[in-house]
Structure 1
């Protein structure tokens, strides 16, 4: 699942990760064979640091498919929590809800339509393998790091 979140991070930051250090573990109650929990620290080429936590066998409140994302900067923060976007700016830290764009079809249908248009128009679709391979590389690096305990440079 992390690969999708890595895609979102790369898209939102418009940048690529240069290092990742990850750990993973399997809680005793997990129904998975492998390690369904992971924590990772990433550094992106423009200096942004990201802390990622993923849980497949967690207890309590579940997150949506998109996960929960919080971007914090000098002038405020943006959060995607429970598929709601909140903007925090100013000193009061009072959130302003930002409405998401409603689409007439599902995200899968939009992806399929983009793929068909790319074939018809001989263009590169927005979700091409040339781009997605970078998220896959980041995922493999996270797995390597969690096995070795070392920071991986991409």
Structure 2
């Protein structure tokens, strides 16, 4: 196969710690160009990965002949830059949440179809070993009917992760659009859809700002979700878990309870109704902390879908469905009513 030429637009933390590292580790990929509005950041990454540096994504798309682009920008820029890249003839891997509205998400999907290019959304939770194993156990019928679930994704906030710290775009509504729900909640909405194998139809959301001063985006949210078949459970997303990150999911089934990323030593613990307990050591979930899994498998899946000309595992349609759960939670919180997922 010929080498896939890629560009990374946005040189913040997600690009530095995930996209660029994983592209660089992939034998079939060449990082051709990088772009960041802050010239020093772009230059630093360009030097590190022996690529060309830009401060304007329009210039990059006009001047470079690249096969694929990673969009690692503030949420409000995901749709316009992804659409521009697709229209320039590039496959696109876009960070989550894919857009700030259903309309934007639809426009991204349409741009991909019109240009016959791949659009993948970087929901990495589907590729975590414990989650893959849990889905197989559910699909096989071993767990039986799913009665309920609860999932949480929380940490102390993006200031410890973002290159801009407390000044990060994560805290600015015009750039972020949404806070912890967009940063963390959408990951879990996507994971639950993947694990349960069905869509959510109703959401009751409590979405608040309680932990971070001086921000107008949410930092604490709890949602009750209902699936097509009537299974109900909870999703929590928070930037207020100050002492320790929580990235756990528990599935309550007819024959067993699955505890995912809930035990410090075993990434999946299956507690069967008959008293049997099976513990799986499947490697730690990816984390910003030391010791977390470093390869998210997002890049390799994206590249593989281009090489094999297959639908990416998290297509634009999939990303849109997960986004719609979060949008419904926001609408529910504002209206104080249970909201249908569109």
Q: Shared fold (TM-score greater than 0.5)?
A: yes
Give the superposition deviation at 1:129.
1.0
Residue-pair matches, total = 146
- The answer to which structure has the higher strand fraction is 1
TM normalised by structure 1 equals 0.83
Q: Which of residues 89, 106, 113 in structure 1 aligns to 2:300?
A: 113
The aligned counterpart of 2:278 is 96
Q: Which of residues 306, 312, 318 in structure 2 aligns to 1:125?
A: 312
Asked if the contact 1:31/1:57 (under 8 Å) is kept, the reply is: no
Q: Partners in 2 of 1:46 and 1:77 — Cα distance?
A: 19
Q: Partners in 2 of 1:78 and 1:148 — Cα distance?
A: 34
Instruction: Give RMSD over aligned pairs.
Output: 2.3
Q: Partners in 1 of 2:313 and 2:214 — Cα distance?
A: 33
Q: 1:46 to 1:32 in 2, by over 3 A?
A: farther
Asked if the contact 2:220/2:238 (under 8 Å) is kept, the reply is: yes
The aligned counterpart of 1:150 is 337
Is there any run of 5+ residues in structure 1 with no aligned partner, and where? none
Say whether 1:79 aligns with 2:259: yes
Asked if the contact 1:6/1:135 (under 8 Å) is kept, the reply is: yes
Asked if the contact 1:84/1:100 (under 8 Å) is kept, the reply is: yes
Q: Which of residues 126, 137, 140 in structure 1 aligns to 2:324?
A: 137
The structure, 1 or 2, with the larger RCO (C-alpha pairs under 8 Å, 6+ apart) is 1
Give the superposition deviation at 1:105.
7.1
The aligned counterpart of 2:239 is 56
Is there any run of 5+ residues in structure 2 with no aligned partner, and where? 1-183, 285-292
SS of the residue 1:100 aligns to:
coil
Q: Partners in 2 of 1:128 and 1:122 — Cα distance?
A: 13
